[in-house]
Each structure stands twice: as C-alpha cells, then as structure tokens.
Amino acid sequence: MEIKSYSLPKTNRVVLGLIRRNMSDNCKILDLGAGEGYLAKRVNNLIAQTEGRQELSACDLFPENFKAPEIQCDKVDINEGIGYPENQFDIVYSVEVFEHIENQFQMLKEVRKILKPGGTFIFTTPNILNINSRIKYLFTGFYLLFDIMPLNWNDPQHTGGHINPTTLYYVCFQAIKNGFSIKGIHIDKMKRSGLFWSLIFWPFIKVGNRVFRFNRRNKDRHILRQNIEAIKLINSIKILSSRTIIMELGKKG
C-alpha cells in the first residue's frame, strides 16, 4: 500500500535523524498529526532496528486516512486539545502541522503537558523569513506557502489549510513562554534562489539590522540583550536562504 508523505523528503530525513538522536532504550514516541503514516512507518522501522522497549503512537484529525495498520492512530483535534495523559511521552514529533493550527500557543502548552520532564518536541513549519518569502510579502502582502483562501471552505488537512504564518522569532517566543528550552533550530535545505537573493540584499539587511539594534539599544537595552542571539539568527544567511524550519525543543523541569 502506497503511503503519501505530506512533507518533503529532506524534511523527513532531518526529522527522522533528530528522533533517532533523542531516542532512549525505553522510550514512548507520539506522531502528532500523522497524516497517512509515511513518517510513522519509518519511525516504526527505526524502532524495529534498535534495542530496547520503544513504543510509537500516532494521532490525526482524520485517522481514517492513516495507512500503517501496524500502528494505532487515534482521532485528535489539536485545536480542541490533545487528550493523552500528562507526562506520557519522551518524544513528540509533528511535521507539516503547526501552520494549520488555529491556536499555536495552546498546541505548545498541550504538547508540554503530555511530555515527560526532559522530553523532546520536534516540529516543522515553513520558514517565512527566507528572502524569497520576504520579497513576495513586500510586493503582495502574502508569504510563500500562504495565499488567499476561499472563505467558505474548511479543510485544515491540506496545503490550502496553511492558516497561521509564524516567523522563527515568534515560534521561539511561544516555545520559551510555554516552558520549553530550545535544543536546536534546524533547516531542511538552503535554496539556490534564496542564496542568490540573500547575497544581493545582504548589504541592505545588514544596515537595516544595525539601525534596528541601535534604536532598540536606546529604548530597551535590557530587552535587546535578551533577544540579541535571535535577532542575529533571523537575519543570518542560514535563515534567509532556507525552506523549512525544524524546531527541537526540550521540556523544562
């Protein structure tokens, strides 16, 4: 049975590598928003190749679409709450879901609740701060992968359901405010077009960044110090040229 991936191959490889790195011998894992089960099947294969007592669960708004019968897939509407017991999982991963969610802050709060202390949350979201997206927004008012939508249509399952664009800075802000530490910020690939336009606009971005930091230093020096690393990152070549952001968060406490 062919299982369709809703995400790109390189994204899947990076996420799978992060799951492998965070796995322990006795580990409970949840695929949150599993789709047809493409990545869940590969995580299950990874578990079969390792020692220990790892367990994989899956959930989705449309579990009837899930095509990996060896894995249980529960019905979950993330906008209504995830519903698993507290401190249940060591790893939760969620691919191509965050941008579909009405309340991302609540999603992070729910994930933190079901993670064990020290557990890891891995999730992806489109990088709307890449230079191609910034240029599109400048001229159209819309980010890449976010477009006008039919107002009488309600389908959060597919690409047309990209309803909540969030920049990397505000993803980090939401994560920290919900009691996560940021273990890593990863990308799937650097696009050639992104690299090209980043180099063209680099002098202007550097000047704009310096002006911004100068103004904030005069107004809110202590807030600037708290955010300086994030400000540098969001205007780095890595972020300007990359397609997808892959967050690796740790539950504090």
Q: How long is the chain?
A: 253
pLDDT in tens, 69-89: 999 999 999 989 999 999 999
CA–CA gap between residue 113 and residue 224 (Å, rounded): 30
Among left, alpha and beta (phi > 0; psi -120 to 50; other), residue 244 is beta
**Strand bridging mode 28-32 / 55-60:** parallel
Residue 250: CB atoms within 10 A of its CB come to 18
Residue 177: CB atoms within 10 A of its CB come to 11
Predicted confidence at residue 53, as pLDDT, reads 87
What single letter denotes the amino acid at residue 60?
A: D
Predicted confidence at residue 51, as pLDDT, reads 79
Instruction: Please give the domain boundaries of the chain with CATH numbers for all domains.
Output: 9-190+242-251 (3.40.50.150)
- Residue found by looking up tokens 């994989």 in the block: 56
Predicted confidence at residue 186, as pLDDT, reads 98
60, 75 in Cβ contact below 8 A? yes
Predicted confidence at residue 159, as pLDDT, reads 43
C-alpha pair distances (Å), 253 with each of 6, 174, 226, 241: 33, 17, 21, 35
CA–CA gap between residue 36 and residue 134 (Å, rounded): 32
CA–CA gap between residue 94 and residue 75 (Å, rounded): 15
Distance of CA 69 to the CA centre of its chain: 26
The list of the chain residues with pLDDT below 50 reads 159
Give the pTM.
Answer: 0.94
Predicted confidence at residue 54, as pLDDT, reads 92
What does the H/E/C string look like for 94-150?
A: ECCCHHHCCCHHHHHHHHHHHEEEEEEEEEEEECCCCHHHHHHHHHHCCCCCCCCCC
